[in-house]
Structures are given as C-alpha cells and as structure tokens.
Amino acid sequence: MNKDKHLGLRIDSETHEKLKNLAEYDGRSINGEVLYLIRQAIIQHEKEQGKDSLMN
C-alpha cells in the first residue's frame, strides 16, 4: 500500500496570502490548491515532453 508523503514548504508571507486567496477562490484548501497546481504542471510537462519523461 502506498502511503502519502509529507512535503514541507517554506514560502514568504505575500506568496502565502496570495495562495490562500487563490485557494479560497477555487474552493480548495491551501494544500488542495498546491496539489492541484503541481498536478497541472506535471500534466503540462508530460504533454510537452512525453508521459515517460518524469519516470526513472
């Protein structure tokens, strides 16, 4: 069974506030918004570079 991984992230106050506002606008938690943005970046990368480009 795969377990979720923890990722600590240090960001400045202004970026945090903007991320919080973006998450609220999108109806997500800050964590949910960060996951959404990361997944979108991965999807975009795989479209441009191929699905196997990020695999070992």
| Chain segment 9-30, per-residue pLDDT in tens | 999 999 999 999 999 999 999 9
Inside any domain, residue 36: yes
What's the CA gap between 52 and 56, in Å, rounded?
8
Q: Structural domain tally of the chain?
A: 1
| Chain segment 32-52, per-residue pLDDT in tens | 999 999 999 999 999 999 988
pLDDT of 56 reads 73
What's the CA gap between 27 and 3, in Å, rounded?
26
pLDDT of 2 reads 83
25: containing domain: 13-51
Inside any domain, residue 2: no
No. of H helices and E strands in the chain?
2, 0
**pLDDT band for position 1 (cuts 50, 70, 90):** confident
pLDDT of 22 reads 97
